Amino acid sequence: MRILLIEDHPIVRAGCRRLLQTRDDVEVQEAATAADGLRIVREFTPDIIVLDLNLPDVNGMSLLAPLLSAAPERKIIVFSMYDDPAFAQRALESGARGYITKNDDPDVLLQAIETVSGGGLFLTASMTGKLALMAARGGSDPLRDLSGREREVLELLGDGKTLAEIADRLNISYRTSASLTAQIKTKLNITSTAALIKWAADRLRA
């Protein structure tokens, strides 16, 4: 198994190399910069790339696409300092097969390599939990499901405007403003229009 390590810090590279060498079947190459990484990847054709996000020349996140474009079946494990689930989410969305951090137990690196080489996705248990929480809470934005129009209507309701005034202001028909209000109520799980107006006035009015 050929593994390319793209990581700018020599101590981390040394640590990873030692860990990886505990397996007999791996061949490791290293790159300290994104440029080096892109060059080596062409000659070395690794099966797995361990990619740091914090590279001196370029953001590692933007390196995912060029690394994958030549060989989409290549497996990339993002290896970063960032504990935030948003990073993991973006890395996975950009095509990474695993996301681990330097604060995790180093053995996790070996587990991740094991998992992704077998075709799986790898996340630590704590990161999986955080991602699930983030999805459930949606970053606490109660308006996340509302369209731009619905948000406008809600703001105007909070300002004390009537449906007719809202229709006039937004240049829509009265029926449309009423149905938008109904949709908002459904999305926010609020039953009455009065409660919706109070909700908006309490939260949106400056």
Residue 65 interacting with other proteins (CB under 8 A): no
Q: Which two tokens stand for residue 152?
A: 């406008």
Q: Where are the alpha helices (DSSP H) in the chain?
A: 10-20, 34-44, 64-70, 85-93, 107-117, 125-137, 148-158, 163-170, 174-188, 193-204
Chain centre distance of CA 157: 34
# residues near other proteins by CB under 8 A: 41
Min separation Cβ 45 and other proteins, Å: 26
Min separation Cβ 15 and other proteins, Å: 3
Give the footprint of other proteins on residues 142-201 (CB under 8 A). Answer: 142-143, 146-148, 151
Distance in angstroms (rounded) separating the CA atoms of residues 54 and 58: 8
Give the footprint of other proteins on residues 17-36 (CB under 8 A). Answer: 18-19, 22
Give the footprint of other proteins on residues 92-151 (CB under 8 A). Answer: 102-103, 105-107, 133-134, 137, 139-143, 146-148, 151
Distance in angstroms (rounded) separating the CA atoms of residues 3 and 202: 55
Q: Is the CB of 63 or the CB of 74 nearer to other proteins?
A: 63
- Interacting residues of 83 by C-beta distance below 8 A, sequence separation 6+: 101, 103, 127
Which residues of the chain form contacts with other proteins (CB under 8 A)? 9, 11-12, 14-16, 18-19, 22, 53-54, 59, 61, 81-84, 86-87, 90, 102-103, 105-107, 133-134, 137, 139-143, 146-148, 151, 202-204, 206
